[in-house]
Amino acid sequence: MSEAVRAALENSVDGLAENTPKTDAGFLWDFWYPAMRSEEIYGKNLAKAMLLEVPLVLGRTTEGKAFAMRDACPHRGIPLSYGHFDGKNLQCSYHGWEFEACSGQCVEIPSLTSHDKLKVERINAVHYPCEERDGYVWVYMSAPGTRLPERLPAAPELEKSSSKFKIMRLECELPSHIDHGIIGLMDPAHGPFVHQSWFWRSKTSIHEKAKQFEPIPNGFRMSPHQPSANSAPYKLLAKMTGETVTTTIDFVLPNMRTEIDRSGKLWFSSRATVTPVRRDLCRIDFVAAWNLPFPVSIFRIFAKIFLRQDQETMIRQSEGLKHNPRLMLIDDADRPAKD
């Protein structure tokens, strides 16, 4: 966690954490959320993450399958991440109960004798479905105390329009409730003020532009349109192909904004997700793929500046939100967030 985010959290919590009432945190359950990068789980290591205030332990079996369990032993609650993983089963560090990592089923209780009638296989650690896409480990966060549906929806995957492409990933934390993170993700009106950069656009380039929206499953789409002619990257793209650029932007529940830009054979596809970690902390994961002749290193520098601008703004916003001000969503620019 960066120093700035930590400082913002410390200021906002002010020792209230223990007294925070366990009210509904307003999370959306029964969706896939990115927990961490695939590269963070390797060998027989166990990694910790938190999604929707649920502590998780993640790892990878010797066969290469990623798994996620609640980081609490069903016996006495000690985090399973203190345990030992042999590539198949995870053994709790307290009394040695063993759980099959991918199903959470208990397979061994060392203290049981041959006279004990307890059916070990009836005991389960809480586990969550886990899939890897685009270098992320996605975890399906089912609502506490509910059964998984018969068929799960497919884990999200970035759209790529050719087999050869470059890919880049970035993330940053925001000291905000997910609702503010999501509103910021959809908010088209902050662009010219927060994201002023020589490589993007300046404040003087503001102009009136109407956007059309259409419904799609679980969200809405900003209908394919030609992006701002005053943004340098789009200008460059049109110059390279000699064809117009079209942009399609989708917002999909619970937390996703995808954008696809095409011009001739060239394409650029990106996705930003804002994932609730706790009620006062969320994380943006940004992934982009493209077949344009832009090196990853250059693109990363620009994308980092962009994300940093959002992060700084949210840190400042959290300073204001500490005092529970009245807020408003106005028509037109805030319509996506309002709906």
Question: In the complex, which residues of this chain contact ligand FES (CB under 6 A)?
Answer: 73, 75-76, 78, 92, 94-95, 97
CA distance 20 to 214: 40
CA distance 300 to 334: 29
Q: Which residue has the tokens 């089912």?
A: 142
Please, which residue, 280 or 310, has the CB nearer to Fe ion? 310
Of all residues in the shown chain, the one whose CB is closest to Fe ion is 310
What are the DSSP calls for 13-70, one per residue? Answer: HTT-GGG-------PPPSEEEEEEEGGG--TT--EEEEETTEEEEEEE-TTS-EEEEE
Q: How far is the CB of 119 from ligand FES (least distance, A)?
A: 16
Q: Does 192 bind Fe ion (CB under 5 A)?
A: no
Interface with Fe ion (CB under 5 A), residue total 1
92 binds, among ligand FES, Fe ion, none (CB under 5 to 8 A by kind): ligand FES
Q: Does 284 bind Fe ion (CB under 5 A)?
A: no
Distances from the Cα of 173 to the Cαs of 4, 293, 302, 331, in angstroms?
10, 30, 18, 29
CA distance 249 to 73: 42
CA distance 122 to 120: 5
CA distance 296 to 168: 6
97 binds, among ligand FES, Fe ion, none (CB under 5 to 8 A by kind): ligand FES
75 binds, among Fe ion, ligand FES, none (CB under 5 to 8 A by kind): ligand FES
Q: Which residue has the tokens 């009432």?
A: 21
160 binds, among ligand FES, Fe ion, none (CB under 5 to 8 A by kind): none
95 binds, among ligand FES, Fe ion, none (CB under 5 to 8 A by kind): ligand FES
Candidates 61, 88, 68; CA nearest to 140 is 68
CA distance 311 to 307: 6
Q: How far is the CB of 194 from Fe ion (least distance, A)?
A: 6
- Looking at residue 98, the DSSP 8-state letter turns out to be E
Helix (H, G, I), strand (E, B) or coil at 125: coil
310 binds, among Fe ion, ligand FES, none (CB under 5 to 8 A by kind): Fe ion
Q: Which residue has the tokens 């993450």?
A: 49
Please, which residue, 73 or 172, has the CB nearer to ligand FES? 73
Q: How far is the CB of 84 from ligand FES (least distance, A)?
A: 12
94 binds, among Fe ion, ligand FES, none (CB under 5 to 8 A by kind): ligand FES
- Looking at residue 5, the DSSP 8-state letter turns out to be H
Q: How far is the CB of 272 from Fe ion (least distance, A)?
A: 9
At position 194, the amino acid (one-letter code) is V
Q: Does 257 bind Fe ion (CB under 5 A)?
A: no
Q: How far is the CB of 146 from Fe ion (least distance, A)?
A: 34
Please, which residue, 120 or 240, has the CB nearer to ligand FES? 120
CA distance 163 to 158: 13
Q: Which of 310, 311, 314, 315 binds Fe ion (CB under 5 A)?
A: 310
Q: How far is the CB of 257 from Fe ion (least distance, A)?
A: 10
Q: List residues binding Fe ion (CB under 5 A).
A: 310
